[in-house]
Amino acid sequence: MSLHRRPRRLRRDGLRELVAETRLAPSDLVAPVFVDATTDERVSIESMPGQERVPLDAVVDRVQEVRATGVETVILFGIPEAKDARGTRADATDGVVQRAIRAIDDATDVTVISDVCLCEYTDHGHCGILEAEARDAPRLTVDNDATLDRLASTAASHAAAGADIVAPSAMTDGMVGAIRERLDSSGYADVPILSYAAKYESAFYGPFRDAADGAPAFGDRRHYQMDPRNGDEALREVALDIEQGADAVMVKPALAYLDVVSAVDRAVDVPVAAYNVSGEYAMLHAASDRGWLDLDATALESLNAIRRAGADLIVTYFAERIAAQL
Ligand SMILES: [Zn+2]
């Protein structure tokens, strides 16, 4: 028997690297960092082993730990000292994220992406200003257009503090355009926008809500985040955001949405990010704790798969662990 085509020829040690289609480097990874104004000490997040909420005076140390693994970029989430209906602390000059950005900027060479949303800052936990009657009638939801100004102001305050990239995640129609306009008119025309363009209303965010204390007090986010059943709609979302000035777009979550990552990568000519979310992280930890899966191997395989699908960069809680192995 003669087989002319034998794919196994290229799978020999010494050749596998040469023909590998996907590369993963620490510089592709972005580590989430949680800075918490309500604590004096570093607090572990139970459902996300190895992850912590850190007080302001520990945030530089935390970021330097990330940097020591080879990861060059963090995405910053804040837990404010107080919450209210409008998320007043989200755009405060002395807000927790604004102060953290200044401290990191002064002390390190790490690239800081700031998450721009209101859900960590509102007492109702939604990503924007509520429609007037929403508290009494939980079927109502976020007032889209009333939220735009709050998001723009929050993004501008992050840029003023020194954020390298702002990343709006509120899934508010028009948010990228509103933020771009505000940044440009405030002297931050050079600050790029990474839009969470295709963010799904996903059950995989559970552990993050423990971490950022951002679970909605009522209802859910299905009126503004995307329906997990929709893929074509993601292409409309990214097209709108790019039209409005997004410099890069994100798909979130990652693993259950690799088809979306792939379709977006083929459809757009800007960098594509994918967010390997808290539930994806927690699942592998839980299975590995039981001895059912090898944590390092499954984490690395997951990140390679996300890259293979088309993500240029990956936001992941595995950033430090995997970077240290690469
Ligand atoms: Zn939000």
pLDDT at 132: 76
Q: Separation of 2 CA from ligand 1 center, angstroms?
A: 59
Evaluate the CA torsion angle 188, 111, 174, 34 in order and state its sign: negative
pLDDT at 140: 65
Residues in the chain, pLDDT under 50: none
Contact 302, 252 (CB under 8 A): no
Contact 142, 131 (CB under 8 A): yes
User: Is the omega angle on the peptide bond into residue 253 within 30 degrees of 0, that is, cis?
Assistant: yes
Residue 117 assigned to a binding site: yes
- Tokens 């690395």 correspond to 300
**Residues with active-site annotation:** 199, 252
Contact 180, 156 (CB under 8 A): no
pLDDT at 252: 98
The number of residues in the chain equals: 326
Phi and psi at residue 256, in whole multiples of 5°? -80, 0
Residue 301 assigned to a binding site: no
Contact 118, 157 (CB under 8 A): no
Q: Separation of 120 CA from ligand 1 center, angstroms?
A: 7
Contact 234, 268 (CB under 8 A): no
pLDDT at 113: 98
Neighbours of 34 (CB within 10 A): 23
Q: Separation of 126 CA from ligand 1 center, angstroms?
A: 6
Residue 119 assigned to a binding site: yes
Contact 226, 198 (CB under 8 A): yes
- Give dist(CA 179, CA 148) in Å, integer: 8
**Domains of the chain and any CATH numbers:** 23-325 (3.20.20.70)
pLDDT at 133: 65
Name 130's bridge partners: 142
